[in-house]
Structure 1
Amino acid sequence: MVWFETILVVLTLLTGAVWLLDRLFLAKRRAARNGLLDEEPVLVDYSRAFFPVLAVVLILRSFIAEPYKIPSASMMPNLLIGDFILVNKFTYGLRLPINNRKFVSLGEPKRGDVVVFKPPHDPENNWIKRIIGLPGDRIAFQGNTLSVNGVAVTYQTLGAYSGRGVAMGTESASLLQENLPGKPHKVLEGLDNIVGQGEWEVPQGYYFVMGDNRDNSEDGRLWPERGADGEPLPNHNFLPEENLRGKAFLVWLNCEGWFCKDGFDASRIGTKIQ
C-alpha cells in the first residue's frame, strides 16, 4: 500500500532530521546556556527513540523482505486465502520506496517465479501471480493447455482437488502438475469452466503472468484494455518490469478472518513457495 510506504518514509525522515538537528546544534546551545543539559524537548525525545526503529523497519521492508497477506483464491492450490507470505525485495534489484524505481539491478525474473506486483490497471494495489512468459516468448492457452513458444506444456493428473477451499467453487476442480519449463508446479483446472483462451507475444520489458487456479484468476489473459480513468493501456495483457515488487518465497503464517477469528493453520508455517 502506497499510503503506508509514504507514511513510513515521511516519519523516518522527520524523526531522523529532528534527532540530527538536535545532536548537531540544539543540544550544544542548551549546554552553552548554563553548562548543563536542559531537559530534552518532547519532540526530540520521541524522535531519538523512534528513529532507529523506523529506519530499521524501512530498510527491511524496502530492500530485504516485505510481508503480504493472500486475499483471494487465484493462486490455489499453492497459496491459500489467509496465507501470510514473505517477498524477497532484492532478488531482482533494489528499488526506492514509494515510486518503486530500480536503482541497482541484481537479477531478472525467471519463468515460474511467483511474484508480487502492481498491475497496470490497478496501480494502487499489490497482486500476486506466476510468471509464465518472459520477454519475447509466445504464449498460448487453449482448452486448458498452456503452450510456450509453440511447445505444449505437459501435465500429470493428481486427482480431484480435496484441500482447503472446496467450498469456494473448487469442488469440481482437478489437481494437476504443470510441467512448466524450469519450474513444475501444481495447478487447479475446472472441468467445465475454461476461461482466458488466447495467444500472446510478450513485448520486451514485460512479462506474462497467470494464476495457478486457472479458471478463477484475473490475470494477464483477462486484464482490461483501459484503466480506471478510461485511458487506454498499451500492452494491457502484460506486466511491466517496473511494476514488480519482488519474489514470493515463504509462507510464515496462515490465519483466516478478521483477528484470526477462523483460527490458525499451523501446517502452513514455513511452507516454501514453489
Structure 2
Amino acid sequence: MSALTGLLYAVLIAYLGGWFSGYWNGNFSLLLFVLTLVTLGYWTAERVYFQPARRRQAQVAADAWEKEQRWSGAEPNPAAREVVAEPHLRQPWWLDWTAGLFPVILIVFLLRSFLFEPFKIPSGSMVPTLRIGDLILVNKFHYGIRLPVINKKIISNHEVARGDVVVFRYPLNPSVDYIKRAVGLPGDEIRYANQKLYVNGKEVETQAQGDFFDDDPGSMRIRPMFTEKLGPVEHKILVDPQPRGQLGPIAAFPYQQNCTYTLEGVTCKVPEGHYFMMGDNRDNSQDSRFWGFVPDENIVGRAFVVWMNFGNPKRIGGIQ
C-alpha cells in the first residue's frame, strides 16, 4: 500500500506541475472530487481493516510481553504494557497522508462546491471594478445548488440579474473560468454601438466621472471613466478615447445568427437560457461581443467580495 500511495502522490504532483507550468488546463473541481473519493477509500479501509488489525497486533505483542514478565517473576507494569503496544498502534505515513486528510478535504470540497469558491482575477477586463491580483469570493448557491464537476442545477434559487458580476465557464473552453458583468438576459436585445450600450432599444444611462489611471501591468494609461446604471446596479466602466474598429466573432458560436455586426458595433438577441456578458473595461475585454452567449449551465456563481489583494489591501470590500 505504501508503494501505491507513493505512486498516487507522484501522479498528483505531475498533474499539478503540468497544470501550473501551462502544459494543460487543470480542473480543480474534478481534482478535488477525485481526492475526496480516494481519501474516503483510505479512511474507510483504515476504520474497517487497518486500525482493527493494528489493535490486534498490539494486543498480541502486549500479551506476549506480559507473559514473559510473569515467567520471569516480575509484576507487569500497565504503563510499560502501553509502551510495548504503542509502536503497533502507530498509523503508517501512507495512511496519515490519505485517511488523515479525508475530513479536511471533504470540508473543503463541500464548502467550495455548494457555498463559496475563491478566485483570483488574472486580467484587466473588469477594471475598474476588479483589478489584476484581486482575490474574490463567489457565492455558489445564489443562483441555485449545482452538482459538483458536472455543474447541473438541482435546486433553483435567484435568477441571474442584469448588472450582476458573474463567474462562468468560458463557452469556447469550459475548463476555463471567466468573470464578466451580466448585461443581457434571455429575450433581451443588446446593442453596443459607437461605445454606447443599449438594452432593448434604450441607451443605458451613464455619467462621466473624470479620468482613471489604470496602473495594472500592461496598461499604465489614463482613460475616461463613467458610472453606468444597469437596472438597480450602479457601477463604473472605462471607455477608450479612440473607438475600436469593427467588432467580429473570434470563433463560430451557437446562435451566432442572432447577432449582426457592423462598423458601429454589434446587435444581439439573447436566446432563452442564455446571457450576454461584458467586461467593465469595455474596449479591452473579450466577451459576448466576440464569443457569444453564456448558457445557464455554465454559470458558476455570483462574485460578491474582494477578500484580499496583497499588492493593495485597500481593495478589500464588496463588489458592485
The verdict on a shared fold, with TM-score over 0.5 as the criterion, is yes
TM-score range, shorter chain: 0.7 to 0.9
In structure 2, the partner of 1:273 is 319
Structure 1 residue 17: Cα displacement:
1.7
1:22-41 mapped onto 2 (5 Å cutoff) = 22-32=46-56, 35=59, 38-39=88-89, 40-41=91-92
Contact 1:78/1:212 (8 A) holds in 2: yes
* 39-48 vs 154-163, which moves further: 39-48
Rounded Cα–Cα distance in structure 1 between residues aligned with 2:232 and 2:58? 71
Rounded Cα–Cα distance in structure 2 between residues aligned with 1:33 and 1:253? 51
Rounded Cα–Cα distance in structure 2 between residues aligned with 1:33 and 1:268? 58
Higher helix share: 2
Rounded Cα–Cα distance in structure 2 between residues aligned with 1:205 and 1:199? 18
Corresponding residue to 2:225 among 163, 169, 175: 175
The alpha-carbon distance between structure 1 residues 134 and 79, as it changes in their structure 2 partners (threshold 3 A), is same
Indicate whether 1:214 and 2:261 are aligned.
no
Structure 1 residue 93: Cα displacement:
1.4
Gaps of 5+ in 2: 1-24, 61-84, 248-264
In structure 2, the partner of 1:157 is 208
Rounded Cα–Cα distance in structure 1 between residues aligned with 2:121 and 2:58? 58
Q: For 1:272, give the aligned amino acid.
A: G
Aligned length: 251
TM-score (norm 2): 0.73
Rounded Cα–Cα distance in structure 1 between residues aligned with 2:206 and 2:162? 17
Rounded Cα–Cα distance in structure 2 between residues aligned with 1:96 and 1:129? 23
Corresponding residue to 1:15 among 21, 24, 39: 39
Compute the RMSD of aligned alpha carbons.
2.1
The alpha-carbon distance between structure 1 residues 33 and 266, as it changes in their structure 2 partners (threshold 3 A), is closer
Corresponding residue to 2:184 among 133, 136, 139: 133
Contact 2:128/2:236 (8 A) holds in 1: yes
In structure 2, the partner of 1:117 is 168
The secondary structure found in structure 2 opposite 1:56 is helix
Q: For 1:66, give the aligned amino acid.
A: E
* 64-73 vs 99-108, which moves further: 99-108
Q: For 1:23, give the aligned amino acid.
A: R
Contact 1:2/1:98 (8 A) holds in 2: no
In structure 1, the partner of 2:268 is 200
TM-score (norm 1): 0.84
Rounded Cα–Cα distance in structure 2 between residues aligned with 1:120 and 1:31? 54
Give a deviation string over 1:132-153, Cα, whole Å, max 9, x none: 0011111111111111111111
The higher-RCO structure (CA 8 Å, 6+ apart) is 1
Corresponding residue to 2:307 among 252, 256, 259: 252
Contact 1:153/1:179 (8 A) holds in 2: yes
Give a deviation string over 1:63-94, Cα, whole Å, max 9, x none: 11111111111101111111111111111112
1:56-67 mapped onto 2 (5 Å cutoff) = 56-67=107-118
